[in-house]
Chain A
Amino acid sequence: MIRIASGQGFWGDDLDAPVRQVEGGPIDVLMMDYLAEVTMSILQKQKARDPKLGYARDVVPLMERILPAVVERGIRVTTNAGGVNPESCAEAIAEVGRRLGLGGKLRIGIVGGDDILGRLDDLLARGVELADMDTGRPLREVRDRVVSANAYLGAAPVVEALAQGAHVVITGRVTDTGLTLGPLIHRYGWKRDAWDLMAAGTVAGHIIECGAQSSGGNFLGGWPDVPDLEDIGYPIVEAEEDGSFVVTKHDGTGGVVSVPSVTEQLVYEMGDPHAYITPDGVADFTTIQLAQAGRDRVRVSGIRGGPSTPFLKVSVAYRSGYKAVGTLVYAWPDAVAKAREADRVLRARLDRLGLRFDEVLTELVGVNAAHGPLAGAPSPEAPEVQLRVGVRGDDRAAVERFTRELAPLILNGPPGVTGFAGGRPKVEEIVAYWPALVPKTEITPVVRVLTA
């Protein structure tokens, strides 16, 4: 049996969770997912400012806390914290290792080859269109606005780094699930065309890739009964050679691991359940069998899968205009009516200024921001409501001007208004996401292992 523990579900997750996973009981692998679609473009911007940056910096102080235990106990760490600069991330961790007296002992694997920003023109010139998977538009339409472009690598380079003895594997854009499947393939020597096993490891990865979302966090199925959320245990997969596994968490932690909690995570961000496509194979979620196997233990079995496709997914980020969002709070009496009147006045002023936007969106937080018209008519006695207005467009100056039109409403609009202490809203550049496919033959993962 091999124990793979989830330590981070995204960049911004609980900083102490990985430490609790290492210190709270036995584990063989610590898996940490840091990358979301938007993260890559942020990291690419940071790298453009400083060539030593471009990775999830939180991972370095974290490693300082866990490296001694990792090396002493032989725990392997797999993480895509490398972002668009896994080399610099690994160097920073090696530096920490040397400071901790682990020089000569600590081996760090680096997985790259996913970053195709510098190869885009070559690919386009050779007829690889990188068309938007949703709209079919060819990438050349937005080529000059591209900020980052990364292919999603699978488990293979992670396996390679582990085989070369890496304690810690730092990757660029490896799939979230590949970080869990990789150690399984490495441990059990699973054949890469054993599609049911590839699917099983992928499902295991999916269950733990969002951190505590499978162990009682964000659990709609019975949140009032989830104990000790302040001390929630992050999920751990105990996997067998035949591909079956148990989802659990460390003893004595909060949260819950139950069939309903695991099921909620299984359906999270799901498309067609018959075809969960990864670089490593295609998993069929309609074959998954779950059973409660003791307190905070769910057995997962029966998973079937099929062959991988000849393509890798590519995530391209490109600049797509500007936006700003501002808010004001209106109090009883007639809170909602006053907020609506303020919105009308604001829009009339924007019109009179001749400002043109692609979209102006008004929400009343407390009334319709989450459930829209399904929430029904607001109470005339509503104690308060937040007016939230957002604009979006290509003209930065117009968006900038919008941000100056909210504050005047405090003195020259409807009464009973507050909540502007934060000042004018900030104008944000929109970096939009362009999903595409690239033939696998175009992408060669690069693996290097260094000794600290």
Chain B
Amino acid sequence: MKVRLLALAHARSGDKGDTANVGLIARRPELYPLLEREVTAARVARHFTGMLTGGVERFELPNLGALNFLLHGALGGGGTVSLKTDAQGKTLSSALLRMEIEVPDGTL
């Protein structure tokens, strides 16, 4: 069945220049392998289609049950240059949690 990441994970996002980072954190340790398998850099790049001028990098932190994504070119120039309401990418965390992934029945 398909579920939103919101049901499986929480997240926080921040900025560094024109790059946003989204840390995606499994709500329970046993959900982490599922996130690691399903939430790839390529899938995240597809999810944010049209919203990034650069690519997506992914880093794994199994010790924290977390994945860290760098979204390059996400912030309209970033910092003081950006005209965006969310120039610091604060809400990209929940934007990622909109993504749906396929999970085995009974995962939740």
Contact = CB atoms under 8 A, between A and B. Distances in A.
Interface residues of B, number: 43
A134 B59 CA distance: 19
Interface string A428-450: 00111101000000000000000
A224 to B, nearest CB: 13
Contacts, number: 125
Contact of B94 (A220, A359, A432): A220
A320 interface: yes
Interface in B55-78: 59-66, 68, 70, 76-78
**Residue among B14, B64, B95 facing the most chain A CB atoms (10 A cut-off):** B64
Interface string B1-35: 00000000011101111100101010100000000
A374 B10 contact: no
B50 A372 contact: yes
A287 B12 contact: no
Contact of A431 (B15, B27, B80, B86): B80
- What range describes how many residues of A lie at the interface? 35 or more
Given A220-B93, A266-B64, A267-B21, A430 B15 contact: no
Given A373-B51, A435-B17, A267 B86 contact: no
Q: Is the interface of A mostly helix, strand, loop or mixed?
A: mixed
A199 B93 CA distance: 26
Contacts of B12: 218, 220, 264-265, 267-268
A391 B82 CA distance: 10
Nearest to A370: B91
Given A218-B12, A268-B12, A286-B61, A260 B25 contact: yes
A273 B81 contact: no
Interface in A352-405: 359, 361, 363, 365, 369-374, 388, 390-392
Interface of A: 37-38, 134, 218, 220-222, 260, 263-274, 285-290, 320, 323, 325, 359, 361, 363, 365, 369-374, 388, 390-392, 430-433, 435
